[in-house]
Structure 1
Amino acid sequence: MRNKRALAALASVALTGLLVSGCGNSDDSSGSGPVSLTVWTGFTGGDAPGYDEIVSDFNAAHPDIKVTMTKMSWDTIQQKLPSAWVTGQGPDIAAPSSDPNAIAQYVKTNSVLEITNTGTGDDKVNTDQLAAELVKEFTYNGKLYAVPANYATLSLYYNKKLVSKPPTTVAELQDQAAKLTTGGNYGLVLADNNTIQMWPILQWLSGGDIVDANNCSVVSTPAGIASLQPWVDLVKNKKISPVGLSGAEADSLFSAGKAAMEINGPWAAPSYQKAGVDFGLAAVPAGADGKPVTLGSTAPLAISAKTKHPQQAQEFLAYWTSKTAQLKFSKTTGFPPLRTDLGDDADLKADPTVSIFASQVSNARLYLPQVPNATKVDTDAYVPLIQTATRDGDVAGAAATAAKKINELTGCTQ
């Protein structure tokens, strides 16, 4: 599910999917057959079977509704969906982006339906049993406009052939990253673009952040610069990672056995297993203050405001987030549960992959949650900050430029 991680070869498939899926808002109210609902998602990775299973199980349990899910690249969805939903020609339901903040633009254009089918019971969205930060992320002006399609924390993958014992502190992580960069191998591959961000974790571990509670930039403060400097030095001077890696490129290096460590989500495990990597999983090491922290990732699942079947669409979202569906999904994919009432499930606790990711849920932070223009803050300010700093080493200069851009985008006036 990694952000914008689809292969270029999927482009033609995606466009074909757009054509064959047609208008998801066609009216099946004639009673001649089951109501048809179309869904667009970008879930093309190793976790794809888990989403397919949800749809298949829903259809089997609801003979009066038939859901068809079309998978395509996130880029294609982000290109096609805004205008499709505005004109009523898009799918009934979609995961608009792997970036949870993207839902804000659809709320602004009145393109998404308010989810009112909430409460208790299997036929409703049990918001009281979903992780609170996920409900908050998709709530605007007191109204819920999406549900989490998944919830993932990032963990430390390490190659057992190169790493004898995974680090438990940020100091150990930095030391091992430098020492393991040898013989053509990289110690810790760090992607900075087209990816679920990992650099914020490095900042949090070292006492820094991106914005404050008022959405004003703090990357150029002394704490912000100090949190970036040691990591920039490791990349630029110690060569622990190539500069300017995309998420896919970082994954490829780990899959090829050329990287000792990588911070990634549960979606990566199947591809690494397929590549034959003998890897281990560990929690992200504790920060300089001794406290653990990692990044939590989710994708929104929302309903078109112009769907002709709002009741059935909300019923599908209720099933997607139900206890039954999510328990099965976690077992299939290795994702931690997005529901709080599954944390004590014995099977999930016994699963070595799920347990590592689930153990970090309470320490996870979302990236730029509900920060104004968060997507542009990432692409237009934060990514250039990391790329510029790791290339020329001038953290203060790059941070100053980024801070100005961030404040412009968020509307901060200091």
Structure 2
Amino acid sequence: MTRREDTEMRLTKLLAASAIALMATPALAIENITWWDFLSGGDGVRMKALISRFNEAHPDIKITSTTLEWGTPYYTKVRTAVAVGQGPDVMTYHLSRMPLGLKEGVLDEITEEDLKNAGVSKNDFFDASVKAASGEEGKLYAVPFDIHSLVLYYNKSFLEGSRFLDANGKLTGIESLKDFEEALAVAKEKGAAAPVTYATGDDGGVYRVFYTLLRQQGGELIEGNEVLPGDNLQKAAEAIEVMTNWGKNGWQPEQAAYEASVALFTSGKSAFMLNGVWEVPTLADMEKKGTLGFQWGAVQVPNLMGTLTTWADSHAFAIPKNNKMSSEKRKAVMTLIGWMEKNALSWAEAGHIPAYKPVAESEEFKKMEPNATYSALANTASYDPRSPITGVASPAYDASINVISPAIHGYAEPMQAAEQVKADLENALK
């Protein structure tokens, strides 16, 4: 036998052995995970990219995602699906909806074993987000993904030459309501059509500003089963009065829908915008394209009423009850959640603060602006009251558009509006 023939024979035997080995190896088991979210716009694009990356990195797990309509339609579908045992394996959830979700019985407990399978622990998350994700008994029912809050955006051109812009072009000198209103007056003198813009004709925009001003006074919207008890009624009236005065002075837009309120700022007609961190990508993209026309920044809402705090909420991951999944699938779901948390830096590009502290405290995040500038708010965030009538698409939001919005436009006195909010929410609690 020649050397060549010997080599060919050896190669033939090797290939045959390999084929036999492959035949003996079972096919890779794939866990198919059904995912629901309510994320549209920039958030939706970023989440789809994260899911795609996860699928590529985990050939043994396949995520099939569905995006549903935000707000009431989403949570109604979740409730209905869970009731008939046809919900997803994992879903995004607002922590502000946690009390109602627990009352409706749609959320499964996230156990210590679950967290271990995700490679995380409760101590890895900001305390406020863990509390908001837990039931009254302390059990965890969701894993916080971010902290998103109201922040104060500013247009530097209206503040140049004033005491409100330092040598580095950073907002400064606003340490009280008096300071802020002085800055609004300066902007008005410089030609701002609406010195401060927010969605004055939208339930969410009105609620977030109102709740921030209430909480900055140390006020509570709901305590137990009581709405605005004691001096909280007066504090609510004072919050509404502040917003009303901004209208009387021509400092805020009238009946502005959400999109219009944002357009006032991006078109250079407002000095300030009170809005969520989720508008950071809008401004960053416009700046990158050269279509913004001014320099901007964003900071934590200053202490206007005595306490440094602001409205906040979180997107979180939850497992619906009645899911009937195997232990292997549940482990795959927690693997997914843990991976999302550890790769949250790209999610932070949407303006959010990662709820997972190892990412929020990383050097990479500390270089991310303006997120890093306002990230301290994670430690002073005010989540909605623990009540089934608060949170996204709730009676509290309804009261904001039906009662508070008309009041700040002059159709009711502040105390009258506060009393009506109290009556409406007390009725909703019955």
Q: Which interval holds the TM-score relative to the shorter structure?
A: 0.7 to 0.9
Q: Is the 8 A contact 2:100 2:387 kept in 1?
A: no
For 2:340 and 2:78, the matched residues in 1 are separated by 29
Matches within 5 A, 1:311-322: 311=327, 312-313=329-330, 315-321=332-338
Give the fraction of aligned pairs with identical amino acids, expressed as a percent. Answer: 21
For 1:320 and 1:49, the matched residues in 2 are separated by 18
Matches within 5 A, 1:242-391: 242-275=253-286, 276-277=291-292, 278-289=295-306, 291-309=307-325, 311=327, 312-313=329-330, 315-321=332-338, 325-329=342-346, 332-368=349-385, 370-375=386-391, 376-391=394-409
Q: Is the 8 A contact 1:40 1:70 kept in 2?
A: yes
Question: Counterpart of 1:351 in 2: which secondary structure?
Answer: coil
For 1:324 and 1:105, the matched residues in 2 are separated by 25
Partner of residue 8, structure 1 = none
The amino acid across from 1:274 in the alignment is D
- Could you tell me which of 212, 221, 224 is aligned with 2:233? 221
More relative contact order in 1 or in 2 (CA 8 Å, sep 6+)? 2
Q: Is the 8 A contact 1:158 1:280 kept in 2?
A: yes
The amino acid across from 1:390 in the alignment is I
1:161 Cα deviation after fit: 2.5
Alignment gaps of 5+ in structure 2: 1-25, 166-170
1:30-59: per-residue Cα shift (whole Å, max 9, x none)? 988522112121221323343234323322
The amino acid across from 1:371 in the alignment is S
Q: Is the 8 A contact 1:45 1:267 kept in 2?
A: no
Q: TM-score with structure 2 length normalisation?
A: 0.77
Q: CA RMSD in A?
A: 3.0
1:368-393: per-residue Cα shift (whole Å, max 9, x none)? 2x123224341333433321311225
1:203 Cα deviation after fit: 2.9
- Could you tell me which of 77, 81, 88 is aligned with 1:80? 77
| Aligned residue pairs, count | 377
Alignment gaps of 5+ in structure 1: 1-29
For 1:386 and 1:178, the matched residues in 2 are separated by 24
**2:424 is the counterpart of 1:409:** no
1:198-245: per-residue Cα shift (whole Å, max 9, x none)? 22113334554423466431486333323331321111x112222333
For 1:320 and 1:296, the matched residues in 2 are separated by 22
The amino acid across from 2:421 in the alignment is A
Q: Is the 8 A contact 1:120 1:126 kept in 2?
A: yes
Task: Pick closer, same or farther for the CA change 1:406–1:108 going to 2, 3 Å.
Answer: closer
The amino acid across from 2:32 in the alignment is S
**2:193 is the counterpart of 1:172:** no
Q: Is the 8 A contact 1:81 1:90 kept in 2?
A: yes
Greater helix share, structure number? 2
1:127-156: per-residue Cα shift (whole Å, max 9, x none)? 221122222222224432222232223321
Q: TM-score with structure 1 length normalisation?
A: 0.80
Matches within 5 A, 1:101-140: 101-118=96-113, 121=116, 123-140=118-135
The amino acid across from 1:94 in the alignment is M
Matches within 5 A, 1:189-228: 189-192=197-200, 193-195=202-204, 197-206=208-217, 208-212=219-223, 215-218=226-229, 221-228=233-240
Q: Is the 8 A contact 1:46 1:268 kept in 2?
A: no
